[in-house]
Structure 1
Amino acid sequence: MIVNTLSEPATGDRAAAPTPAATVRRHPRVLSIAGSDPSGGAGIQADIKSIAANGGYAMAAVTALTAQNTRGVQSVHVPPAEFLRRQLESLSDDIAIDAVKIGMLANPEVMRAVGEWLETTRPAVVVLDPVMVASSGDSLVAVDARLALLDLLQHAHLVTPNLPELAVLVGEAEADSWEAALEQGRRLAATSQVRVLVKGGHLAGSACPDALVEPGGSVEEFTALRIDTANTHGTGCSLSAALATVQAQTNHWPESVRRAKGWLWDALETSAELEVGHGHGPVNHFHSLWDAAPPAGNAFSRSLWDEVEPQRKAIFELGFIKDLAAGTLTEAHFAYYLAQDAMYLGSYSRVLARASALAPTAEEQLFWAKGAENCLAVELALHGDWLARHPLDVGPGPVTKHYVDHLQAAAFAGSYGEVVAAVLPCYWLYAEVGRVLHADYLAFDGVHPYARWLETYADQAFADAAEAAVRIVDAAARRGSALDRERMREAFVHSAQYEVDFFDAARLHA
């Protein structure tokens, strides 16, 4: 089992197959198939806001009309299933759809219409939120719809039930503990061969856990502190729509869950600002767009540096770094580190080349292009000399693979700001490590076994390159929106943690 938090950064069959690379888009076209909420907090209205807030182009096919507000649902009208079928066919005849979020489907006829359309169109990302009961407690689905809903799961890549809905799907009583909820999630994932996002929001306690359960039984948990608010109207709708949108951008389900859950956490935390209704109010979908002016000067980069202070301190507490500075690091540990770094740099150079292609100025294009060339011409040559004398036959370790996946997601699904923020720690933190360790190296008595490595990363040209990368990130932050800056911050923090883990992996796996 893997456990993630919102401050930290599993997938064989239909459920486990990754989204085809050709469908990964910076601004995916996302279709919501759901009911309408005139109060704007749930259903189609919430989905459109969630999709837009997470960088997608939103479309909608309405399955039902409701009379509802923040206090509850007063009435539901379900148009003929044939009319929904016409909506869906009209869209897919004209528009390439990158992802689909499915919400309220009130009866078996509607469910079958959606299933038949999915069988024909086969979208690359399908997230099914099995909406059965509103947060007010009102039933939204006919009692005979359970079997039709279970049949619809064969067309989904991810299903996102709350605990009452999960209980209905597995035909059991509602789970009263997180362990029981996970067990129900495993059973549903195995029997329906679909990923299940088990959501613990209905459980008591200060934590609000979610878990991504694979059909094979593996579980990856994501935890966050519970937000003390009554503004929970449409949280399930909003999360599932965000997940569909982000997955079409990342092609990586755990990363998509982390991003979408973090976005929803902020939307809940700022929900009181809206002051909508007298019952369960809506979340603040556009919290990232309604903030202060862009940061001036180097304020953004300084905030990033301050935020990763724990990671900066952790690096110098690692046994690998201490032994490297003292010259007592074993050749086996250093060889493993260099072998992993060589594999990492091959991918890192391609990410830098991508940054060069996205750069808005000729100066920045040239900077990142030179960085990509340097990875191959200088750093890999340095690694190759050592590894030729100390050969080691290993494949990429888990940290290397996850770090590279993170960088490639930023490079090929994110904005220019996200790319440069994601690569910055490999400049900035390495320059800091080189500066500190070089001071110890100069005081070293004798011939240091790793002198060439220490001299490379303490070189003034490398320090200058790190400073230039910082300036580029600040400029990108000033040009970007509030949402861009938040994604840049997330990309930077995750890369910083991967840097810590990368150094530490040598001692753990060599």
Structure 2
Amino acid sequence: MSEPQYQQSNETPSVTGAMAALAQLEAAGERAADAPSRLRILSIEGSDPIGGAGTMADMKAFTAQGVFGYAAMTSVLAQNTQGVTSIVNMEPDFLVAQLNAVSDDAIIDSMKIGMLGTPELVEAVKGWLTALEQHYRDEGIAKPVVVLDPVMYAKSGDALLTEQAEQALRDIIPMADIITPNVPELAALADADQPAADIDTLESMAREVCKRYGVAVYAKGGALALVGGASSTDILAEPSDGQGEVRTTRIEGRAVRTHNVHGTGDTLSSTLAALRPQCDTWEQAARRAKTWMNGAIAAADRLHVGKGHGPVDFTWQHAPTGLRFSADYWNRVRPIRERIHGMRFITSMVDATLSLEDFAFYLHQDDIYLTDYTSLLALASSRADRLDERVFFAQAASGGVDSEVMFHHNWYVKHGFDPSGTSRSEVTAAYIGHEHRVADSGSYARLAAVVMPCFWLYAAMGKEMREQVRNKHIDVDTHPFGEWIRMYSDPEFTESTLREVQICDRLAAEASIDEYEHMMHAALVSSEHEFRFFEQGLTRPALGF
């Protein structure tokens, strides 16, 4: 049969923009196939024999966030939960040797720079970082994220650096992407007479430091909570344009009543370094870090480590991987995606050689499936732990599915089909059964994951099929299956897909390893059912289920 020829239609900018957004999402998944299973983060810090601060804290925080940690020690300390009794700073040449040992052999995706006790150590790190960033530019390697914890003052306000070392530290700040000062350190960097005593002053100082140094500032407000504040609120200040404007965000968290806060500053900065490459913005990373820190601090009292201010519990929650759930899924589902995109049912739709009877059979099974799918979306809405997600699933259950069912009805009328005598197939029943078994677990995260492929795989197919039809110079408006292709390549459906994937990413980031894998299994099995669902248009499985 010769290939039908139709006039090519023009795509609107909104369609192109939505497709670009989906393409970026899918590209992240494609890169996951060749990417390391863990992000690689460097700690440049002093030691802590008790294990709650410095290099030891950084390594534990890295593991907790699902990344692989390197370490170069700037100093060796004799300290515990009651205080520091002795410090031996590394020779600058030896620190550089440690740094080179890492950078000559491995890629660094992000780094946390902590205690630099002398001007010479600051200069050593500055010189090494300058050379590293130039090398990465020359090799086309992404610049590593740099989180600088400007260790200048203890929580008590006691100075930890000499005047010369403090000035040297100020000189390296512009090389960072973000700095994480505590209340006394922020006051020093803002040249304020007194540390902030309230959140408004903290925010004002963060703005000033951000504007002065041109870097993002995460101002840790935990000290305000320790003196009786009802909540623990931090300030994120970010440069918002090239004119010196600053945007501030309050990162709120609950105040945890505990004296076990040893190493919380180190842990927060290393957690940010681990999370930023996994997030789109500093605000996302900051909120995830704050949530994780709240949990770690809340669990600290049960550790019983030391007689003084004990450390936080780094193992209160485990991250399964440094990859986003969406990237991990898109990589793992690749074999199924390739089978779907290459199957005869889909290729015949594109070139308009699929029989209308075969498409009508598939479409009626989809009617049966969507009737049940609506109930799952409504269930997800009822289980959602955030109002915006509750609204999203409620709208998807009503307006989104209704539009698909209406399309089916109009297509039947247009082409003269009456599907009422066709009952549910064994393939459709198997897919519905899988989704309900997952829903019966009671987990909102698994439920969100099990319905995700019906969004994403359809959006991906809609985009690809629209491109193929365009390349064949076929007009979607006159194509026999053009309405179906247009529906699933529509920007509104694409936006819904992106929102559903974002929800799954959030839930997976907060999940235990076991829950993460349950989510992944649910999504992958749904994806296999999607392949069989299309295939039944040609194979005609048994009915009456």
In structure 1, what is the equivalent of residue 341 of structure 2?
none
Alpha-carbon spacing, 1:132–1:71, altered in 2? closer, same or farther (3 Å): same
In structure 2, what is the equivalent of residue 133 of structure 1?
153
Q: 1:271 Cα shift?
A: 0.9
Q: 1:139 Cα shift?
A: 3.7
In structure 1, what is the equivalent of residue 268 of structure 2?
239
In structure 2, what is the equivalent of residue 311 of structure 1?
387
In structure 2, what is the equivalent of residue 145 of structure 1?
165
1:203 is paired with a residue whose SS is: helix
Q: 1:249 Cα shift?
A: 2.2
Q: 1:134 Cα shift?
A: 3.3
* Structure 2: distance between partners of 1:367 and 1:184: 48
In structure 1, what is the equivalent of residue 286 of structure 2?
257
2:120 is paired with a residue whose SS is: helix
1:73 is paired with a residue whose SS is: strand
In structure 1, what is the equivalent of residue 476 of structure 2?
none
* Structure 1: distance between partners of 2:383 and 2:395: 23
In the alignment of these two chains, the number of paired residues is 359
Give matches, 1:77-156, under 5 Å.
77-122=88-133, 123-135=143-155, 138-156=158-176
Name structure 1 gaps, 5 residues minimum. Answer: 1-20, 291-300, 328-362, 389-394, 429-460, 466-510
1:59 is paired with a residue whose SS is: strand
- The answer to whether the 8 A contact 1:146-1:169 is kept is no
In structure 2, what is the equivalent of residue 212 of structure 1?
236
Alpha-carbon spacing, 1:408–1:158, altered in 2? closer, same or farther (3 Å): farther
- The answer to whether the 8 A contact 1:233-1:281 is kept is yes
Q: 1:260 Cα shift?
A: 1.3
Alpha-carbon spacing, 1:257–1:39, altered in 2? closer, same or farther (3 Å): same
* One-letter amino acid of the counterpart of residue 237, structure 1: D
* Structure 2: distance between partners of 1:233 and 1:131: 14
Q: Normalising to structure 2: TM-score of the pair?
A: 0.56
* One-letter amino acid of the counterpart of residue 151, structure 1: D
Q: Deviations over 1:49-74 (max 9, x none)?
A: 00111011111111111111101111
In structure 2, what is the equivalent of residue 228 of structure 1?
257
In structure 2, what is the equivalent of residue 176 of structure 1?
197
Q: Normalising to structure 1: TM-score of the pair?
A: 0.59
Residue 200 (structure 2) pairs with residue 200 (structure 1): no
* One-letter amino acid of the counterpart of residue 144, structure 2: A
- The answer to whether the 8 A contact 1:26-1:413 is kept is no
* Structure 1: distance between partners of 2:253 and 2:59: 25
- The answer to whether the 8 A contact 1:200-1:208 is kept is yes
In structure 1, what is the equivalent of residue 39 of structure 2?
28
1:209 is paired with a residue whose SS is: strand
Alpha-carbon spacing, 1:48–1:167, altered in 2? closer, same or farther (3 Å): same
Alpha-carbon spacing, 1:271–1:303, altered in 2? closer, same or farther (3 Å): farther
Q: 1:46 Cα shift?
A: 0.4
Q: 1:381 Cα shift?
A: 4.1
Q: Deviations over 1:417-457 (max 9, x none)?
A: 769959999xx9xxxxxxxxxxxxxxxxxxxxxxxxxxxxx
1:288 is paired with a residue whose SS is: coil
Q: Deviations over 1:89-123 (max 9, x none)?
A: 12111111111101111111111111111111124
Task: Mark the structure with the bigger radius of gyration.
Answer: 2
Determine which of 45, 49, 56 is the counterpart of 1:45. 56
In structure 2, what is the equivalent of residue 191 of structure 1?
212
Alpha-carbon spacing, 1:367–1:117, altered in 2? closer, same or farther (3 Å): same
Alpha-carbon spacing, 1:81–1:202, altered in 2? closer, same or farther (3 Å): same
Q: Deviations over 1:134-166 (max 9, x none)?
A: 346554322322221111112100100011111
- The answer to whether the 8 A contact 1:135-1:234 is kept is no
* Structure 1: distance between partners of 2:506 and 2:458: 17
* Structure 2: distance between partners of 1:366 and 1:316: 16
Give matches, 1:461-480, under 5 Å.
none
- The answer to whether the 8 A contact 1:410-1:422 is kept is no
* One-letter amino acid of the counterpart of residue 39, structure 1: I
Q: CA RMSD in A?
A: 4.8
Determine which of 294, 311, 316 is the counterpart of 1:287. 316
Name structure 2 gaps, 5 residues minimum. Answer: 1-30, 134-142, 241-245, 320-376, 404-449, 467-480, 534-545
- The answer to whether the 8 A contact 2:72-2:98 is kept is yes
Q: Deviations over 1:487-507 (max 9, x none)?
A: xxxxxxxxxxxxxxxxxxxxx
Deviant stretches of 4+, over 3 Å:
21-26, 134-139, 301-307, 309-325, 363-388, 399-425
Alpha-carbon spacing, 1:306–1:253, altered in 2? closer, same or farther (3 Å): same
Q: 1:30 Cα shift?
A: 0.8
In structure 1, what is the equivalent of residue 178 of structure 2?
158
1:132 is paired with a residue whose SS is: coil
Q: Percent identity?
A: 33
- The answer to whether the 8 A contact 1:27-1:249 is kept is no
* One-letter amino acid of the counterpart of residue 253, structure 1: W
